[in-house]
A and B are shown apart, each in its own frame.
Chain A
């Protein structure tokens, strides 16, 4: 089992120009680590919608790699997304699921199916190109470089224990200025790849 903040510290060293779509506490943690990373799409809206936002970004910008930092409770709220993503086959989408077994932002209550549900198996059954589970930080560090180059959609479950609570900055996460920064940063990156319908 790993700490999310330590996983994200490793991830933060590897990202270059990928779009990052983090949810809830993962978003707070990512913002704390990389407050300057303008290609972070914080505007996931309703709970569970991060992967759907990521799919929209991935299809609209096939020249960019899109990384979702999803939560287990969030994914449970939108399980159909696995099938939708698999059917669209965005090869530029990498879907991380931070599995700590709890609704961390809502009192720490256990998710339904805690210790039973297998998100990687669900993703494989839905049709993801590949799905994996990582529970050891050294494994994550060893694999992350290759994962970021892999052709998707790929889902990786990160088995997590609770770490120190991240600072909370919802005004930033949901702010109009944050969206404007993202849109400007994304617009500054030229799309050179098109997809045939």
Chain B
């Protein structure tokens, strides 16, 4: 069953409450209207538009060395494309790269690993293989995962992934 959908404004509030100052992004239709467009006009954040997602992994990792918190807002396809950068900067170097990735075409109410989309199905197993914690943001109330996940990433100096489960 699918509950009330999570909304972009509560996600942005939680991102801000987590101390995120920079949002690095490649647009994703899953989060475009609900998150990225509102974020453009949100003075709590500085938006850095990048050409490709692996740039964002490196930018976020480097910013962590300056004690600045950053979030990489992308589509899961960009996450898959950035696995080597994430492996190196996040997992090998143990740097807190925080990723929020839209699961394009995931069916609301269906767990990602049961999606009809092959790409969506393999996201969580890949994150598990890399020992990267992940949480699904899909229904109202799921925003409770955001702040603890980001805090844990910086406390443990390791990546985290927040997966947006429906288009907003």
Q: Which residues of A contact B (CB under 8 A)?
A: 41, 43-46, 48-49, 52-57, 59-61, 78, 80-81, 83-84, 87-88, 174, 176, 179, 182-183, 186-187, 197
Contacts and interface: CB of A to CB of B under 8 A. Distances in A.
Given A61-B66, A80-B55, A45 B50 contact: no
B114 interface: no
Interface in B44-75: 45-46, 48-52, 54-63, 65-68, 70
B51 A53 contact: no
A49 B48 CA distance: 16
Contact of B51 (A57, A83, A182): A83
13 contacts: A41-B62, A43-B65, A46-B84, A46-B87, A46-B89, A49-B88, A49-B89, A52-B56, A56-B58, A59-B48, A60-B22, A61-B66, A84-B55
Contacts of A61: 66
Contacts, number: 101
Interface in B7-42: 22
Contacts of A54: 62
B92 interface: yes
B44 to A, nearest CB: 9
A126 B120 CA distance: 34
Contact of A183 (B56, B57, B65, B92): B65
Given A43-B93, A46-B85, A49-B58, A57 B65 contact: yes
Contacts of B54: 46, 48-49, 52, 78
A56 B52 contact: no
Given A45-B58, A49-B54, A49-B57, 20 more contacts: A45-B92, A49-B85, A52-B56, A52-B62, A53-B61, A54-B62, A56-B58, A57-B62, A59-B22, A59-B48, A60-B63, A78-B52, A78-B54, A78-B55, A80-B50, A174-B93, A176-B94, A183-B65, A197-B43, A197-B45
B52 A60 contact: no
A197 B68 CA distance: 15
Contacts of A78: 52, 54-55
A186 B46 CA distance: 22
B22 to A, nearest CB: 7
A41 B63 CA distance: 12
B78 to A, nearest CB: 12
B65 A182 contact: yes
A87 B85 CA distance: 22
A188 to B, nearest CB: 12
B62 A53 contact: yes
A52 B54 CA distance: 9
Contacts of B46: 59, 197
Contacts of B50: 52, 80, 84
Listed from nearest, the 9 A-B pairs whose CB atoms lie closest are A80-B51, A56-B62, A45-B88, A52-B58, A56-B59, A45-B89, A60-B66, A49-B58, A52-B55
A84 B45 CA distance: 18
Interface in B73-131: 84-85, 87-89, 92-95
